[in-house]
């Protein structure tokens, strides 16, 4: 065999390795993008569900005790007659058990925070048991949903943030 033939064979092997490495890298990039899109879709579904729960009338007493353990009875909702009801809002704030409310909303792997922001930009935390904004800013993934609601005689924004630590 001549040297010229050996160089061609070596170039072919190196070229083949480069193509394989690029193909594998391309596959992993596409696969990772697909995972990110599915997580965003799941976040969107969960934040819409949470928003719809909060914007409903709710029902039941929300909490009950069975066998010495707190259990939920009904559904959390803050709205009556298309307005945020102050009594329901106070009842929600008085739950004081973040893990319990997460269970009621069906949020096993996500955390949430809810704020009311008035026309001057002043925010009121709906769920005082999670007021740690550093948890939101350090989240692996997060999504925010704003809804316009009627509260205390004016139209305000209901800001809901759903995130995964």
Please list, in sequence order, all residues whose beta carbon lies within 8 angstroms of the beta carbon of residue 101, skipping any fewer than 6 positions away.
76, 92, 95, 127, 129
pLDDT tens-digit series, residues 57-105: 888 777 666 656 666 777 888 899 889 988 888 888 888 778 888 888 8
CA triplet 129, 114, 127: central angle to 5 degrees? 25
Greater pLDDT, 61 or 49: 49
Are 75 and 53 within 8 A, CB to CB?
Answer: yes
Greater pLDDT, 78 or 9: 78
Ranges of each domain in the chain:
47-55+83-164
What are the angstrom distances between the C-alpha of 5 and each of 1, 9, 18, 91, 145? 7, 6, 20, 83, 65
Residue 36 has φ and ψ, to the nearest 5°, of -65, -40
pLDDT tens-digit series, residues 100-156: 888 888 888 888 888 889 888 888 877 656 546 667 777 778 889 999 999 989 999
Please list, in sequence order, all residues whose beta carbon lies within 8 angstroms of the beta carbon of residue 39, skipping any fewer than 6 positions away.
141, 164
């Amino acid at each position: 065999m001549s040297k010229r033939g050996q160089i061609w064979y070596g170039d072919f092997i190196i070229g083949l390795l480069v193509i394989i490495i690029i193909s594998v890298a391309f596959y992993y990039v596409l696969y990772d993008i697909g995972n990110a899109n599915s997580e965003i879709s799941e976040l969107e579904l969960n934040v819409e569900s949470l928003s719809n729960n909060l914007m409903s009338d709710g029902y039941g007493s929300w909490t009950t005790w069975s066998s010495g353990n707190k259990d939920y009875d009904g559904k959390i909702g803050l709205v009556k007659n298309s307005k945020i009801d102050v009594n329901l809002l106070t009842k929600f704030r008085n739950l004081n058990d973040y893990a319990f409310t997460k269970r009621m909303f069906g949020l096993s792997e996500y955390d949430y925070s809810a704020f009311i922001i008035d026309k001057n930009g002043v925010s009121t935390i709906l769920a005082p048991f999670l007021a740690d904004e550093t948890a939101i800013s350090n989240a692996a993934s997060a999504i925010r949903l704003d809804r316009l609601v009627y509260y205390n005689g004016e139209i305000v924004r209901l800001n809901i943030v759903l995130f995964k630590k």
